[in-house]
Amino acid sequence: MRILGIDPALTITGYGVIDSNQRHLSLVEAGIIKTVAAQPIHRRLEKIYCSILKLISDTKPAVMVLEKLYAHYRHPTTAYILGEARGVICLACAKENIALVEYAATRVKKALTGQGLAPKHQVQRMVTSLLGLKELPRYTDVSDALGLAIAHSYMIRAKI
């Protein structure tokens, strides 16, 4: 099964595509979608939307995995901005008729490391190890996206 994990954000959206079978995970593609803060919000959202559509077209995933939205009461604007990016990503998913799954960050971290509150660097090292990468992904957004995809592969195996 081909799984697309996305770590949404307005400035840097990380993505990772993996293939998962019964006992093997392999990296298909991973990277970032970067927008420029000086651009108007509608142009930045358009870039994310169009980039996700192209990514779906190029990689043909069976499912897209997003992190559930978490908002801290001290930073409501962050949740609002993140919600806009998530919205265009979900729209692209619906337009291409792909299944959408969401997991809480703590659930993903627990699936990957055994600890729901694991630090980002631990998730990054685990993703690197599980996919047999030679080096850590440059952006934590990429390792978070790959972590989402890997965690989903574990969740669907557990249901079988």
**What residues act catalytically?**
7, 67, 141
Which residues on adjacent β-strands are paired with residue 100? 64
β partners of residue 111: none
Structure tokens at 8: 């949404």
CA pair distance 32, 13, nearest whole angstrom? 5
